[in-house]
Structure 1
Amino acid sequence: MRTMKPGRSGTVDRRRVLAGTAGSVLALALRPAAAAQPRTETTESAIRRFAGDNPIRPGRVSLDLPPLVENGNTVPLSISVESPMTQADHVRRIGVFNERNPQPNVVTLHLRPGAGRAQVATRIRLADTQRITAIAEMSDGTYWSASADAIVTLAACLEG
């Protein structure tokens, strides 16, 4: 890079760029501890948006989540639903909900009879120790659920 000479405009001084970058990094590092982002809605309202006023029964859904999570940035999660996945009896959707993340609906998965098995595995972020709930909507209009608690030692989903 060319150095800036007095009277010239439009050129960039490498020292100024580096000093500005270092200042930005230092300002970010010295900010107060990060506060959690505000929730967009309650867990209950997110579940009602997913299932409406339909009753949600426990059972048919298996939720596998580690009970103790060292790092909330990458938490393994697997869900399976008891279903033959035929045209007459299959899982339409699976919704995953949490209590403390900024958005209570973690993911909504759409399935079809041709999926073979109603089973998914992924990784999610958890802001804090909380309960995770998976709800499956079946082709007959019934809703089934399972919940699991996770203790998170290093939180994710925080600003900063």
Structure 2
Amino acid sequence: MDSRRRDVLKAGGAVGVWSVLAAVGIAAPAQAWDARNGGVFEAATLDDALRALGAQDAAESAAVRIAAPDVAEDGRAVTISVASDIPRTEQIVILIEENPYKVAASFRLSGAMAPAIQTRVKMARSTRVHALVKAEGRLFVARREVTVTVGGCGT
């Protein structure tokens, strides 16, 4: 099969999936094509990222749970899961202290979605991972230390 044809089929499939999710109300078109908040994703320090998110005073919460390995053998693909027991969770953001760019991922959730995500991130070195949860206009945070044996990010 021609590689260009394969790329067109993959792109068409992705558009189709988002269309179905939008049609059944799981994802709004704005969520599918949400504009990137450059101030958040390009923050070079943790304080800058928290300031851009409006989260300098986020409250520690045991209702936000981070599942991540204690020791990650390869920093190029570290699996991180975040779950929230806080009602009406609207957003989950993963921040990694020692990465060149602190915000690794941001997820906006609709009421039809369970407040739990799982993703893989790159980690430059051993550091704390922060999970920030926005619910009912308030911000909550949990932290977890992850040891990385081989870093996955360039600086």
- Following superposition, the deviation at residue 142 of structure 1 comes to 1.0
Identity, in percent, stands at: 21
CA shift at 1:67, angstroms?
Answer: 1.0
How far the C-alpha of 1:51 sits from its partner, in A, is 2.4
Tell me: higher relative CO, structure 1 or 2? Use CA pairs within 8 A at least 6 residues apart. Answer: 1
Partner AA of 2:45 in structure 1: T
User: Which 5+ residue runs of structure 2 have no aligned equivalent?
Assistant: 1-41
Q: Is residue 47–residue 97 contact of structure 1 (8 Å, CA) maintained in 2?
A: no
Residue matched to 1:155: 151
More helix, by proportion: 2
SS across alignment from 1:48? helix
8 Å CA contact 2:99, 2:153 repeated in 1: yes
Q: Which residue of 2 aligns with 1:103?
A: 101
Structure 1 vs Structure 2 CA RMSD = 1.6
- 8 A Cα contact 1:95 1:109, kept in partner: yes
Check conservation: 1:65, 1:76, Cα contact below 8 A.
yes
Match of 2:70 in 1: 67
In structure 1, stretches of 5+ residues that fail to align are 1-38, 84-88
Moved over 6 A (4+): none
Superposition deviation, residue 126 in structure 1: 0.3
What TM-score do the two structures reach when normalised by structure 1? 0.66
* Cα distance in 2 for residues equivalent to 1:70 and 1:57: 31
Q: CA deviation at 1:52?
A: 4.7
| Residue equivalent to 2:58 | 56
Aligned-pair CA distance for 1:98: 1.1
CA deviation digits over 1:108-133, x for unaligned, max 9?
A: 10001111x10111111100011010
- Per the alignment, residue 31 of structure 2 pairs with none
Cα distance, 1:40–1:47 mapped onto 2, change above 3 Å: closer
